[in-house]
């Protein structure tokens, strides 16, 4: 029979996450405690470790805590969240594509600008930097 649950410090050392972060996750509802000790200490189930691993994994894939929470809500409703996770990851790819596109455009503009850069231009008028025409 398993114990009544582990205290936050144990979960912290076993998961490798700071105590503060675990409290933060619990406050957000990402990581429900199974209850409190008589003295008011949070008690977590073994399952919390799997949950934290899940959170960590989705975080490294770029999902926000809110999106992760959505996936966990599906899981907590008793269903496999694979479909929702798939949707979120698809959206994440779209976001990334958009970001890459923007960054490439910006990079191109910078490149073009620097390609015609004059290191020592004539100081003309009141312009601050002639290379930028401003």
Residues that bind DNA (CB under 7 A): 7-10, 12, 18-21, 23-24, 37-42, 59, 64-66
Q: Which does 94 bind (CB under 5 to 8 A by kind): a copy of itself, DNA, none?
A: none
> Residue 11 interacts with a copy of itself (CB under 8 A)?
no
Binding residues among 92-131 for a copy of itself as defined by CB under 8 A: 92-93, 96-97, 99-100, 103-104, 106-107, 109-111, 113-114, 117-121, 123, 126-131
If DSSP states are collapsed to H, E and C, what string results for the chain?
CCCCCECHHHHHHHHCCCHHHHHHHHHHCCCCCCEECCCCCEEECCHHHHHHHHHHHHHHCCCCHHHHHHHHHHHHCCCCCHHHHHHHHHHHHHHHHHHHHHHHHHHHHHHHHHHCCCCCCCCCCCCCCHHHCC
- The interface mask with a copy of itself, positions 26-45, x = CB under 8 A, is --------------------
């Amino acid at each position: 029979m398993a114990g009544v649950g582990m205290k936050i410090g144990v979960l912290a050392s076993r998961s490798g996450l700071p105590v503060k972060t675990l409290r933060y996750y619990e406050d957000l509802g990402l990581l429900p405690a199974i209850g409190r000790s008589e003295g008011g200490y949070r008690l977590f189930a073994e399952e919390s470790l799997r949950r934290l691993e899940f959170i960590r994994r989705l975080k490294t894939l770029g999902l926000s805590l809110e999106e992760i929470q959505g996936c966990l809500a599906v899981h907590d409703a008793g269903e496999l969240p694979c479909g929702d996770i798939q949707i979120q990851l698809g959206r994440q790819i779209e976001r990334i594509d958009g970001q890459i596109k923007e960054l490439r455009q910006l990079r191109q503009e910078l490149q073009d600008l620097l390609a015609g850069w004059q290191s020592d231009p004539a100081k003309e008028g009141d312009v601050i930097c002639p290379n930028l025409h401003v």
